[in-house]
Amino acid sequence: MSQRTRVVPIVLAAAIAALAAPAIRAQAPAPGKAAGSVEITVYAAASLRDALGEISKVCEGPTGSHLVYNFGASNDLAQQIVAANKADVFFSADEKWMDHVADAKLVDAGSRRALLSNRLAVVAPADSALAVGGAADLASAAVKRLALANPEAVPAGKYAKAWLEKAGVWDKVRERIVPGTDVRATLATVEAGAVDAGIVYKTDAAMSSRVRVLYIVPEAEGPRIVYPVAALGGDRPHLDVARRVVECFAGRDARGVFERLGFVAIEPAGGS
């Protein structure tokens, strides 16, 4: 049997609308952009979408920035940064992909910090009668299809695989895995009822009324989840502003948003 995860075919219909942006006069700020602010592009893990949407309101004014986001799987974002060097800030869902960008000499090392942690959650469609009390239950006959973000590359999937391996059930469930492009795609697969269960971050599960949380993986059971953030160098034109944005993401007001949405703030070395 192949040692690679077998993909269970699932076809999900999606509608994509392309909208042409209207031309903007050179002397006028873009919609939502304050006069004199600098556009800062933030490449951020998909699981941060809701939190950073709120935090923009906290950080744009004090930092003199207009924040534009590109959300996705951290592995894809890291590869885009290395290929094109278009981002000003990278907010990854694991250290490995930040290291990948650092190896390309594109991370402003002085601004890098491990900012957040998270927990894994097993979820099922809201009307599911499935019960899960631990990893072993995912190997039962009741779970024919199990959604994860791609466990070969995407942080959420890699964390989930590490938990299942530690529990000794990965080899029993690997043939049932439905891999997603990122954690939000995995959540959508569960919401659509295309699988019996899925493993996502606790923070993503909390944002959906269309799934039911079956199990929160205890910190002692799961891998350590770390979200590092850093400004990017590599001759980026607004490094000073990007550094201020990173500082704001680590500040008290932003921390309040992250914690309200279920993230765990990591204290800097020596406390705060």
Domains contained in the chain, CATH given: 38-117+226-265 (3.40.190.10), 120-216 (3.40.190.10)
pLDDT category at 90 given cuts 50, 70, 90 is very high
Percent of the chain with pLDDT over 90: 83
The residue that leads in pLDDT, 270 or 72, is 72
pLDDT category at 34 given cuts 50, 70, 90 is low
pLDDT confidence of residue 35 = 61
pLDDT confidence of residue 106 = 97
Task: Annotate 183-221 with DSSP letters as a single string.
Answer: HHHHHHHHHTT-SSEEEEEHHHHHT-SSEEEEEEPPTTT
80-98 average pLDDT score: 97
pTM assigned to the model: 0.86
pLDDT confidence of residue 270 = 52
Percent of the chain with pLDDT over 70: 86
pLDDT confidence of residue 36 = 73
Torsions phi, psi for 146 (to 5 deg): -125, 120
Rounded Cα distance, 212 and 156, in Å: 18
* H helix count then E strand count, the chain: 9, 11
Nearest CA to 74 out of 109, 29, 118 is that of: 118
Provide the phi-psi class of 119: left if phi over 0, else alpha when psi is between -120 and 50, else beta. Answer: beta
3-state secondary structure of 227: strand
- Residues 6 or more apart whose Cβ sits within 8 Å of residue 56: 67
Structure confidence by residue, pLDDT tens digits, 98-125:
999 999 999 999 999 999 999 999 999 9
Nearest CA to 73 out of 159, 195, 140, 176 is that of: 159
Alpha-helical runs (H) found in the chain: 49-63, 74-84, 95-103, 155-166, 170-173, 183-191, 202-206, 239-249, 252-260
74-102 average pLDDT score: 97
Average pLDDT, the chain: 89
Structure confidence by residue, pLDDT tens digits, 246-257:
999 999 999 999
pLDDT at 271 over 70: no
Please tell me the least confidently modeled range out of 9-18, 99-108, 173-182, 214-223. Answer: 9-18
pLDDT at 272 over 70: no
